[in-house]
Structure 1
Amino acid sequence: MLQRIRDKSSGWIAYLILGAVIITMAFFGLEAYFSPKIETYAAKVEGPAKFWVFGKQEREISQEEFRRRFEQARQEARQQQGEAFDSAAFESIESKRNILDRMVDDALMALVAEREGLTISDQEVAEQLKALPQFQVNGVYSPDQYRLTLAGQGLTHAQFMASVRADLASRMLPNQIIGSAIASDAELEAFLKLSQQTRTLRLLDLPTPSLPAEPPTDAELQAWYDANPSLYRSEEKVAVEYVEIDGASLDVPTTVDEDTLRARYAELRSRYVTEPQRVASHILVAAAVDADQATNDAARERAAALAAQARAPGADFAALARENSDDLGSKAEGGDLGVVEAGLFDAAFEQALFALDEAGQVTDPVRTPDGWHVIQLRELTPGSERPFEDVRAELEAEYFENEAERLFSELSGRLIERTYKDPTALAPSAEALGLPVQRTGLFGRGGLDQGLSAIEAVRAAAFSDAQKTERQVSDAIEIGPNHIVVIHVVEHVPEAAIPFAEVKDRVLSDLNADRLAQAAQAQAEALLERARAGETLDALATEVGRTVAELENIPRQAGLPPALLAEAFRVAAPEEGKPSFGIAKVGADRQVLFEVTAVTPGDLATLDDATRTLILGQFAQARGLVEFQEYTKALRKVYTVRVAEDRL
């Protein structure tokens, strides 16, 4: 049998199979067969293959990237909504998917930009970086602030530059699509006629009907109670014990020795030293990095000639740049690059520029991947240094502040570490650290006006399943700068139905309110039918003991109840000699019967040219947004998007 297997495995089919195995191993390595790949992405975007299964574009959105964007969105929502911010609702899977979808759209745009060969120049990245407010001091870009901010975020210069470049690339296509949209004058005029339309109304504010003389029976009350169980439930409540660490109340040193301060000064010397600042301009003679020798030599010779012209007495470098530079980003500005800091441009470019020590000097041609540069040092501002004696008080105050933060971090870290080891009880950890355990009374999801339960983050943690149901000690909850609490739910009173006997008076009030609302609706609908049948509004007003109010040329933004305005502008325009009627609910049991007697289109003559142009631009932008959304939908049909909801 073994011989038969050997004979069968020596034909051309066997050779093909063996060849396929060898090729696969050559591409992917033997370890691919034995090391299973563990996926960690939150979402993955894959483009179509260029050849069979090869050449696919691929981009993953990591869980860490998603969490950073999610926390950023949380902070923005908290700032915008204030006390109205609902942490539990924000944590919903719908909210997370919305944020992830936006990240997927960004990834799609970046992949398309990559596919189409759209690139972002170093100058564009540098300009974007300098415009970011977190790197500015008093509205001006600060290299020291840039370095300190990146260090605080644990990022290198190369990593941040790459992220800025990727962000610009992802926004390039959307900006072009939105910016290229066009809106016509005819569309604008139709919109303005409608949006500035006014209507003449006659209003009859109907009286609230009376309740029946006979009150509801107990059976009717019981039936209402049974039909509306959600109205008559007690609030879910919890009580927690907690440990609080406030950095402001910790014992910190009040003196510091001179040697410590001087060592701190030496460590932070770059903060007190201002490096020389260089303002530069350049002329670029473009030459691709893979250009042939003849093309490269010709570009270098042209750059050398321009350098010689720039060094000539009375030469106008800006004029030479406007006429000869191939850098479209700076050409119109005479080659102006602004302030050039270390690390923003190609190493060869910076080395040549930083070698100049006098304003007005011009370099020899410098080669970078973009081509040959002729660089002029336009301004050179000397650096400065603040001596130790001038900053001693500042260093001392900072030392005490850092010590307070260190003690706070150390104590809170020990508390968190202990609660991780024993997450079912808070008292043992607090006792080991000498911290008092405090307790709240029962409180609901809305909290109380003061105390710990007034803090939204505490309530969110207290009512989460991990604390409320599993009775786990919470993570540290930040309630202020260097101020945390750790809570443990010790009592839980679930939501429950309130017995009918305890809420009978509320049931009677709610049922009567509903009866009035239904009676008001029925009265309004009956009068509306009579008005449409030909009875005048004045005759109906006399019947119900009210008068008709007349309002001429009311715009959509008039100071009337929104429901009334919405209905008044929704009904059809009146036909010749025949008004249009409608009703609007403006209160729980209050209805208004109205008639529209005239409709006046918006007057376009009241708009000046500037306003007209502004609105036309807004129209075009709105259309561009719609076109961009449709373009994104189309891309999702070409690119494959995989989402791992279990990792969000």
Structure 2
Amino acid sequence: MFDFVRQHTRIMQFLLFLLIFPSFVLFGLEGYNRSLEKGAPVATVNGVDIMQSEWDNAHRVQVDRMRSSMPNADMKLFDTPEAKYSTLERMVRERLLQVAANQLHLGVSDQRLAGELQQNPNIAALRRADGTLDIERYRQLLSSQGMTPEMFEAQVRGDLASRQVMSGVGVTSFSPAALANVTLNAFYEQRQVQVARFAASDYAAQIKPSDADLEAYYKSRPEQFQSMERADVEYVVLDLASVQKSIVVPEAELKSYYEQNLSRLAGLEERRASHILINADKAAPTSERDKARANAQDLLTTVQQSPEKFADVARKNSQDTGSASKGGDLDFFARGAMVKPFEDAVFTLKKGEISGVVETEFGFHIIRVTDIKQPKQKSFEEQRASLEVDVRRQLAQRKFAEVAEQFTNMVYEQSDSLKPVAERLKLDIQQANGLTRDPLPASAASVLGNPKFLASIFSADSIEKKRNTEAVELGTNVLAAARIIQHSPARTLPLDEVKARVLEQVKAIQSAERARQEGTAKLTEWKASPDNAKLPASVVISREQKQQQAPAVVEAALRASTQTLPAWVGVDLGTSGYAVVKVEKIVPRDAAQNRARERDQYAQWWASAEGLAYYRVLKEKFKAEIKVARL
């Protein structure tokens, strides 16, 4: 097909004109472009599609967010097909819960929204010394994420409403103690058993397969003795790092970026404080809280009269075990590190000043500010290197779409070589030998471990005609193309080459069969004459304490009927052999010291199961469906 296109370019141009022109007339150029940009639907919730472009953008935002929060992490870990699919699952979940919240008329009050925003650590860091919010920095923070304050607050309000959908199930989940005890007793039940093992390896020396046995096994399983299809390839990768190499950052751009980010680059003011804490639980009776407050007031009077004795008073009286031994010292901290009443008090005091009695959820505090560290504004020259890295990355992100289009066009139009695109975009041509259709362990973390890329490499057109693959999107801002240099198809290896493997497998099968025959014979004999049974010493087993027994043995022993004891069970262990289990008696569970903890754990499991079941009901009710296959 591609040969026909290349050889009849003018005819194809004319046909495409006839096909495309009517759609321009009906929908307009802008509408046509918009439909192409959105791509195909990848999921649907309540009749509304999630488009490929939305998915790509959401994952790009997710990766950028991870990059900003963990700058030293390897972003390839978050840009895999699996990670991208999890982004789509999260989008479907969020859309589904939003639809359910709207249907259930769940709303969020302004007070609840304000409380949530106050607890946000990113917003708390933007507060001034007097506790007011720096609106300009707030807008800049949201703008860097492509949002306005109104958009962000609407998003938070929607998230809070969505949480109510599932929280209603969680808080009403109920697990009766009687039901929990029945389930837990069955799960943690112990049994005293004797286990006779008939290991296949014990019979291996007796097995002498004939040549006919080997040939019959080889012919019955040709797929086990094939050499894998392999290819030697060369490939090029276009990513942000390769685009950045060609970026020259203008001086004016650097200075503009520096001036726009002065407040962020300066960092946050930090303060060092010491405190004396008198514990008082919020749920304690009023009389106890009043007593704690009076105690704190007396200590306040003492340190106000002798400020130099603050550390001594803290060592002797503070009930904060973490700081009392250090004279109440809490070291330096910025806004957002402490609970709000404590923080507000610290950031309104001057160096050396002592607060009044400050009440928080932990009790009553007396606070003294011991030092103030103002953020140091570094000069343009001091930050030039890091500024250049940031600006170069931003410029590369803007330029990537343009370069990606060149890359895509060139690997297709000049399909007999990757050299032109590599020279034009200054990319390295890399090579890999012995590549297979399934990712090899050594390549799992590289582009050659991407199933989509491998499928393109091993396509019929690529194999038969040795042409470049199409430009394959491997992740956010990552494209790759490859070309096969040498291809070796899969083939069945001759028996002479694999005879040792065939012999090993036949001996393993026949040894296991001999062990199985011996084991079943002994099981029949011992059931009929229990006194003749020669068994090892008894052990007590459970799902928690397997006593080095195979999982199949443990499960068989615990599932065996105990209406008549002893009970006899035969367990087929596959190629490992066979086991005969004699269940002698049921052993009561251990002492009840962990019963309460186990019931709590069971209640959590039950609540999780109910939440999952409810979510599945919502998916069915609102017809939530992911239309792309999980890789």
The TM-score, its normalising length taken from structure 1, stands at 0.59
Comparing 430-439 with 59-68, greater Cα deviation is found at 59-68
Which residue in the other structure is 1:598 paired with?
Answer: 585
Q: 1:222 to 1:269 in 2, by over 3 A?
A: same
Which residue in the other structure is 2:510 paired with?
Answer: 515
What one-letter code is carried by the residue in structure 2 that aligns with 1:165?
R
What one-letter code is carried by the residue in structure 2 that aligns with 1:265?
Y
Which residue in the other structure is 1:396 paired with?
Answer: 384
- Output aligned runs, 1:401-550, within 5 Å: 401-402=389-390, 405=393, 416-422=404-410, 423=412, 424=415, 425-444=417-436, 453=443, 455-460=445-450, 464-469=454-459, 470-471=461-462, 472-475=469-472, 487-536=482-531, 539-541=532-534, 548-550=536-538
**CA-to-aligned-CA distance 1:563-582 (integer Å, 9 cap, x gap):** 3222222212363xx31122
2:154 is the alignment partner of 1:154: no
Q: 1:41 to 1:168 in 2, by over 3 A?
A: farther
- Output aligned runs, 1:77-116, within 5 Å: 90=82, 104=92, 106-116=94-104
Q: Using the alignment, how far apart are the partners of 1:594 and 1:636 within structure 2?
A: 45
What one-letter code is carried by the residue in structure 2 that aligns with 1:579?
P
C-alpha displacement of 1:584: 3.6
C-alpha displacement of 1:438: 3.5
Whether the aligned pair in 2 keeps the contact of 1:202 and 1:550 (CA below 8 Å) is: yes
**CA-to-aligned-CA distance 1:233-274 (integer Å, 9 cap, x gap):** 2123222213467959987999997x8765443222332578
Comparing 407-416 with 597-606, greater Cα deviation is found at 407-416
Q: 1:102 to 1:408 in 2, by over 3 A?
A: closer
Q: Using the alignment, how far apart are the partners of 2:400 and 2:379 within structure 1?
A: 31
Identify the match of residue 202 of structure 1 among 194, 209, 234.
194
Q: 1:492 to 1:160 in 2, by over 3 A?
A: farther
Q: Using the alignment, how far apart are the partners of 1:99 and 1:222 within structure 2?
A: 51
Residue 570 of structure 2 aligns to a residue whose secondary structure is strand
C-alpha displacement of 1:172: 0.7
Q: Using the alignment, how far apart are the partners of 1:106 and 1:385 within structure 2?
A: 41
RMSD: 5.3
Q: Using the alignment, how far apart are the partners of 1:112 and 1:102 within structure 2?
A: 15
Number of residues of Structure 1 aligned to a counterpart in Structure 2: 478
Which residue in the other structure is 1:267 paired with?
Answer: 260
Q: Using the alignment, how far apart are the partners of 1:638 and 1:483 within structure 2?
A: 38
C-alpha displacement of 1:528: 1.8
Whether the aligned pair in 2 keeps the contact of 1:476 and 1:485 (CA below 8 Å) is: yes
**CA-to-aligned-CA distance 1:108-163 (integer Å, 9 cap, x gap):** 4433322332201234344445656776769x999788656644432333333323
Whether the aligned pair in 2 keeps the contact of 1:200 and 1:554 (CA below 8 Å) is: no
Q: 1:150 to 1:514 in 2, by over 3 A?
A: farther
- Output aligned runs, 1:290-309, within 5 Å: none
Whether the aligned pair in 2 keeps the contact of 1:41 and 1:61 (CA below 8 Å) is: yes
Identify the match of residue 565 of structure 1 among 538, 542, 554.
554
Which residue in the other structure is 2:10 paired with?
Answer: none
Whether the aligned pair in 1 keeps the contact of 2:566 and 2:584 (CA below 8 Å) is: yes
Which residue in the other structure is 1:164 paired with?
Answer: 156
Whether the aligned pair in 2 keeps the contact of 1:200 and 1:553 (CA below 8 Å) is: yes
C-alpha displacement of 1:227: 1.9
Q: 1:266 to 1:618 in 2, by over 3 A?
A: same
Whether the aligned pair in 1 keeps the contact of 2:249 and 2:392 (CA below 8 Å) is: no
Q: Using the alignment, how far apart are the partners of 1:86 and 1:580 within structure 2?
A: 54
Q: Using the alignment, how far apart are the partners of 1:146 and 1:530 within structure 2?
A: 82
Q: Using the alignment, how far apart are the partners of 1:386 and 1:638 within structure 2?
A: 54
Residue 216 of structure 1 aligns to a residue whose secondary structure is coil
Q: 1:127 to 1:413 in 2, by over 3 A?
A: same
C-alpha displacement of 1:185: 1.6
Identify the match of residue 220 of structure 2 among 227, 230, 233.
227
2:575 is the alignment partner of 1:580: no
Residue 118 of structure 1 aligns to a residue whose secondary structure is coil
Q: Using the alignment, how far apart are the partners of 1:521 and 1:468 within structure 2?
A: 44
- Output aligned runs, 1:621-640, within 5 Å: 621-632=604-615, 634-635=617-618, 639=622
- Output aligned runs, 1:312-351, within 5 Å: none
Q: 1:585 to 1:86 in 2, by over 3 A?
A: farther
C-alpha displacement of 1:189: 2.1
Which residue in the other structure is 2:602 paired with?
Answer: 619
Which residue in the other structure is 1:216 paired with?
Answer: 209
Which residue in the other structure is 1:589 paired with?
Answer: 576
Q: Using the alignment, how far apart are the partners of 2:343 and 2:604 within structure 1?
A: 32
Which residue in the other structure is 2:232 paired with?
Answer: 239
Which residue in the other structure is 2:273 paired with?
Answer: none
**CA-to-aligned-CA distance 1:319-352 (integer Å, 9 cap, x gap):** xxxxxxxxxxxxxxxx99998xxxxxxxxxxxxx
Whether the aligned pair in 2 keeps the contact of 1:110 and 1:170 (CA below 8 Å) is: yes
Q: Using the alignment, how far apart are the partners of 1:556 and 1:158 within structure 2?
A: 53
Which residue in the other structure is 2:17 paired with?
Answer: none
What one-letter code is carried by the residue in structure 2 that aligns with 1:581?
W
Residue 112 of structure 1 aligns to a residue whose secondary structure is helix
Whether the aligned pair in 1 keeps the contact of 2:557 and 2:583 (CA below 8 Å) is: yes
Whether the aligned pair in 2 keeps the contact of 1:237 and 1:442 (CA below 8 Å) is: yes
Whether the aligned pair in 1 keeps the contact of 2:41 and 2:51 (CA below 8 Å) is: yes
Q: 1:179 to 1:251 in 2, by over 3 A?
A: closer
What one-letter code is carried by the residue in structure 1 that aligns with 2:570?
I
Residue 582 of structure 2 aligns to a residue whose secondary structure is strand
C-alpha displacement of 1:203: 2.1
C-alpha displacement of 1:619: 3.1
Residue 442 of structure 1 aligns to a residue whose secondary structure is strand
Whether the aligned pair in 1 keeps the contact of 2:268 and 2:375 (CA below 8 Å) is: no
Whether the aligned pair in 1 keeps the contact of 2:561 and 2:567 (CA below 8 Å) is: yes
Q: Using the alignment, how far apart are the partners of 2:227 and 2:145 within structure 1?
A: 46
Whether the aligned pair in 2 keeps the contact of 1:196 and 1:603 (CA below 8 Å) is: no
What one-letter code is carried by the residue in structure 2 that aligns with 1:169?
A
Which residue in the other structure is 1:185 paired with?
Answer: 177
- Output aligned runs, 1:111-126, within 5 Å: 111-126=99-114
Which residue in the other structure is 1:3 paired with?
Answer: none
Which residue in the other structure is 1:352 paired with?
Answer: none
Residue 114 of structure 1 aligns to a residue whose secondary structure is helix
- Output aligned runs, 1:27-38, within 5 Å: none
C-alpha displacement of 1:404: 5.2
Which residue in the other structure is 1:307 paired with?
Answer: none
Whether the aligned pair in 2 keeps the contact of 1:574 and 1:597 (CA below 8 Å) is: no
Q: 1:487 to 1:506 in 2, by over 3 A?
A: same
C-alpha displacement of 1:170: 2.1
Q: 1:406 to 1:420 in 2, by over 3 A?
A: same
Residue 569 of structure 1 aligns to a residue whose secondary structure is helix
Whether the aligned pair in 2 keeps the contact of 1:199 and 1:600 (CA below 8 Å) is: yes
Whether the aligned pair in 2 keeps the contact of 1:234 and 1:495 (CA below 8 Å) is: yes
